[in-house]
């Protein structure tokens, strides 16, 4: 049985995180992002076989994750410390590269989120200011460190499970799973295209990488995180199956899937759209997720500039992204097509392949300073 009792973090480090929190992030934080545009994109290319490219993605990401976890398990020290020892000042190149990557990777979820907000939260025509408010929250979250990300993952256990279960129960009444038949009915080319086009949505391992990099690996940590990721994959696959079962051939046109799956629940005609309450609850998880790459970017930029004052960086970053989103919003389709159609290699290269180089880090570099046990909760 997995031990969920939070053991005290072992390092005297304010940026403490527990394996349980990474597992929760994998299980409850990452799947929420795949409930927006990814289902309709998968359905467009893979049709009834939309589960096949999704499973393929999860297998690839699981391999990357296992590789990173194996690298982390090789020493008592965290991956970040080992990387700093191995690369010396060269670590700044890694910081800048990944800061740029996360900044790039943040744009797509932001655009998805913006469109989702306009669709799910407004009957009226919203103003640009409506979504701009998000960047206040993003700037605030970016100031906080890895510890807060870990704690938000803990909170996602409640914020994700309750609305997900309720929405799925409501959705199942209209699900016709025969829509998924026959298995492998779509040509392989279609499934592979779906796989390629949804690469940005499924690049999960890299989102866990900064958390694992701060973790001081202990026995069974890898098991916990892998179980967490597997749970997240199950949630996503189940959601995709339900989504296609409800909408069938019109699924490609049903954007921001999770705001719609439960709307045909019979009781809603009497009590109103109470499913919206659960959708809004799940949106909190989505907001946490959307902030995640921004938080990493701010953190990495702060490290690159060797400063602990992230307020300025966070403010500039949020402001820059606000303008980027306002600008890219006008070229949404073109930008989306470029990212998903022509730039998946960026994700494969930086998110999936580069982290595997951690396997070549020197195995055990014992530091002179002993690791002090600190009685504080992460």
Partner 1 sequence: MHTPFVIYKISIALRREKVKYRILFHAKTQPICVNTLSKSIKTNLGELKKRLPSEDILTYEFETQDKTACAIVYADGIVNKQLLGDLIARPLSKLSLKSAENVEDEIKKTALFPELKIAEDFQKAMEEILDGNSLFLVDGVATGFIAGAKLLPNRAVIEPPTDVTVKGPREGFIEDIKTNMSLIRKRLKTPDLRFETVRVGKRSDTAVSVCWLHGIADEEVKKQITDKLNALQIDNVPDSSYIAALLSPRKHSIFRVIGTTEKPDIFTAKLAEGRVGILVDGSPIALTAPFLLAEDLQSSEDYFVSPFVATSIRFLRCIALFVAILLPAFYVSAQLFKMQLFPLGLMLTIASSVRDIPLSPSLEMFVVLLLLEILKEASIRMPKYVGMSLSVVGALVLGETAVSAGFLSTPAIIIVAFSGICLYTVPNFVETGSLLRWLFLLVAGSVGPFGIVLLGAFVLYYMLSSDCFGAPMLAPFSPLVPHDLRDSIVKYDMLSLKQRPRLFRSKNKTRLRVPNEEKTQGEN
Q: Where does this chain bind partner 1 (CB under 8 A)?
A: 4-6, 18, 20-21, 24, 117, 121-124, 126, 129-131, 133-134, 136-137, 140-141, 144, 147-148, 150-152, 154-155, 157-158, 269-273, 276, 280, 283-284, 287-288, 375-378
DSSP string, 213-266: HT----TTHHHHHHHHHHHHHHHHHHHHHHHHHHHGGGGGG--SGGGTTTTT-T
Nearer to partner 1, 21 or 78 (CB): 21
Contact (Cβ atoms closer than 8 angstroms) between residue 39 and residue 239 = yes
Instruction: Provide, rounded to whole angstroms, the least separation between the CB of residue 109 and partner 1.
Output: 15
Please, where are the H alpha helices in 47-121? 51-72, 79-87, 91-120
**Long-range contacts of 91-99, Cβ-Cβ distance < 8 Å, separation of 24 or more:** 92/304, 95/300, 95/301, 95/303, 95/304, 96/300, 96/304, 97/350, 98/210, 98/296, 98/300, 98/350, 99/296, 99/297, 99/300, 99/301, 99/304
Instruction: Provide, rounded to whole angstroms, the least separation between the CB of residue 318 and partner 1.
Output: 13
CA distance 346 to 344: 5
CA torsion sign for 292, 298, 302, 304 is: positive
Phi, psi torsion values for 16, nearest 5 degrees: -90, 145
What would the two tokens of residue 211 be? 């958390």
Instruction: Provide, rounded to whole angstroms, the least separation between the CB of residue 153 and partner 1.
Output: 8
Nearer to partner 1, 205 or 313 (CB): 313
Instruction: Provide, rounded to whole angstroms, the least separation between the CB of residue 369 and partner 1.
Output: 22
Instruction: Provide, rounded to whole angstroms, the least separation between the CB of residue 348 and partner 1.
Output: 31
Nearer to partner 1, 2 or 234 (CB): 2
Nearest CA among 40, 30, 32, 35 for reference residue 336: 40
Instruction: Provide, rounded to whole angstroms, the least separation between the CB of residue 154 and partner 1.
Output: 4
CA distance 151 to 160: 14
What would the two tokens of residue 239 be? 């959601």
Nearer to partner 1, 7 or 349 (CB): 7
Instruction: Provide, rounded to whole angstroms, the least separation between the CB of residue 373 and partner 1.
Output: 12
């Amino acid at each position: 049985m997995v031990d969920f009792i939070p053991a005290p973090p072992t390092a005297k480090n304010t940026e403490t995180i527990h394996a349980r929190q990474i597992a929760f992030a994998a299980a409850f934080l990452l799947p929420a992002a795949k409930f927006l545009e990814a289902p309709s994109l998968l359905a467009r290319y893979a049709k009834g076989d939309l589960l096949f490219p999704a499973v393929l993605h999860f297998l690839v990401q699981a391999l990357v994750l296992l590789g990173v976890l194996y690298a982390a398990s090789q020493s008592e020290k965290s991956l970040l410390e080992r990387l700093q020892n191995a690369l010396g000042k060269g670590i700044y190149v890694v910081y800048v590269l990944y800061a740029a990557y996360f900044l790039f990777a943040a744009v797509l979820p932001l655009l998805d989120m913006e469109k989702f907000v306009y669709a799910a939260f407004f009957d009226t025509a919203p103003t640009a200011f409506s979504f701009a408010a998000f960047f206040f929250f993003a700037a605030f979250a970016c100031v906080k460190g890895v510890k807060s990300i870990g704690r938000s993952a803990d909170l996602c256990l409640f914020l994700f499970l309750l609305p997900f279960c309720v929405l799925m129960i409501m959705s199942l009444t209209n699900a016709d799973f025969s829509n998924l038949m026959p298995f492998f009915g779509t040509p392989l080319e279609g499934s592979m295209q779906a796989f390629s086009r949804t690469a940005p949505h499924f690049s999960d391992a890299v989102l866990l990488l900064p958390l694992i990099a701060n973790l001081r690996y202990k026995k069974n940590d890898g098991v916990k995180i892998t179980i967490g990721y597997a749970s997240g994959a199950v949630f996503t696959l189940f959601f995709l199956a339900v989504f296609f079962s409800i909408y069938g051939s019109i699924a490609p046109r049903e954007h921001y899937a999770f705001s719609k799956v439960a709307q045909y629940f019979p009781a809603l005609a009497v009590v109103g759209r109470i499913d919206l309450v659960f959708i809004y609850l799940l949106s909190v998880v989505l907001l946490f997720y959307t902030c995640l790459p921004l938080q990493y970017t701010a953190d990495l930029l702060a490290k690159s500039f060797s400063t602990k004052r992230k307020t300025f960086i966070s403010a500039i970053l949020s402001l820059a992204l606000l303008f980027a989103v306002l600008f890219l919003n006008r070229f949404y389709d073109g930008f989306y097509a470029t990212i998903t159609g022509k730039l998946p290699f960026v994700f494969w290269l930086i998110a999936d392949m580069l982290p595997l180089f951690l396997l070549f880090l020197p195995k055990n570099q014992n530091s002179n300073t002993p690791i002090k046990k600190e009685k504080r909760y992460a």
